[in-house]
Amino acid sequence: MARRFKLRPLPNDSNDNKESLKMIDRREFMRLSFNTAAGLITMASIGSVGFASLLMGQPEADGGDTAVRFWVPSGAEDTAWFGDRHLEPMNYSAFQTAAANTKTGMIGAQGVWSGLPVNVVYVPHEENKDLPLVPDKPRFQYLDGYDLGGKYVGSGREVEDDSTYSTLSIHDNMIIIFSRCPHLCCIPGWQLVTNNYTGDNWASGGTDSGGDKLFCICHSSRFDPTAIEKNSMGRGVPFDFIGVRRTGGPAPNGMPLIPFVLNGDIIEALPDFKDWYAYCG
């Protein structure tokens, strides 16, 4: 029998729809991902670039439309560290507090920004960047990216060296990742399942070793949120992007970054590279 997953009902959904969405199997989950971007959007007839443009919010000092909000998957209310904060604006200090309770000092959370699924990951980069590369001392690493044909695309270091990507420059020990798996568009999460890839461990080099990967439950693709590279999207019409590295599984490449700023303690994303977030159509 196909494994079935429990979904959180949409905030404004009717009771009938809430009932029908309670349990879905993998095929239904993937169809929902294709059509609704994290199950939040019901504008499937509008192209992704179009709906991304429509949904990009305006800055608000109180954490309004540009704020990244926690998204608590159904069933994770009692297990995720942000389980009681569904749809609340993400605040930076919450990540710092949660990270202090992990072995690696890393912490991540699933979120939503302007209707788009994201993962926000805190890495103690400033604390560890000058230490020897040893296990469980994570920091961001700028790596070379190669396309599916093995052709060199570029380096993650371009976020620091190329003004085109200046808003993606690493800051505040944090990155935001647009989270549609480039395999078949499911939504990878942070430690929502338990396996060898999701434990509180870290290994250097952007390999499949260690834990603290973003993990896609659909067909087990893995992504290292500390491995920053430039790559070419292997899904849909190709385009170059800066993102996190795919380390294993059927996804052809990693997922793009989203620039952000801190507005006081609130994490707000920027729409500078919104064309990168349309590959799932």
Number of amino acids touching ligand FES (CB under 6 A)? 11
Is 83 a residue that touches ligand FES (CB under 6 A)? no
> Per the structure block, which two tokens stand in for 99?
């990270």
* Closest separation in Å from C-beta 74 to ligand FES: 19
* Closest separation in Å from C-beta 82 to ligand FES: 22
d(CA 61, CA 87): 17
Q: Which SS3 state, helix, strand or coil, does residue 186 take? A: coil
Which residue, 40 or 98, has its beta carbon nearer to ligand FES? 40
* Closest separation in Å from C-beta 250 to ligand FES: 5
Three-point CA angle 36, 38, 43, nearest 5°? 20
* 233 burial via Cβ count (<10 Å: 0-12, 13-18, 19+): buried
CB atoms within 10 A of CB 97: 12
Is 219 a residue that touches ligand FES (CB under 6 A)? yes
Which residue, 69 or 219, has its beta carbon nearer to ligand FES? 219
Chosen residue from 251, 266, 269, 280 binding ligand FES by CB under 6 A: 251
Which residue, 87 or 148, has its beta carbon nearer to ligand FES? 148
Chosen residue from 248, 250, 271, 281 binding ligand FES by CB under 6 A: 250
The H-or-E segment that residue 48 falls in is helix 48-55
In 3D space, the residue among 133, 119, 81, 141 whose CA is nearest the CA of residue 222 turns out to be: 119
Instruction: From 90-98, 102-110, 177-185, 266-274, give the range in contact with ligand FES by CB under 6 A.
Output: 177-185
35-46: burial string, b at 16+ Cβ within 10 Å, e else: bbbbbbbeeeee
* Closest separation in Å from C-beta 126 to ligand FES: 32
* Closest separation in Å from C-beta 257 to ligand FES: 18
Scan residues 179-218 and list those touching ligand FES (CB under 6 A): 181, 183-184, 186, 216, 218
The H-or-E segment that residue 42 falls in is none
The contact set with ligand FES (CB under 6 A) reads 181, 183-184, 186, 216, 218-219, 221, 249-251
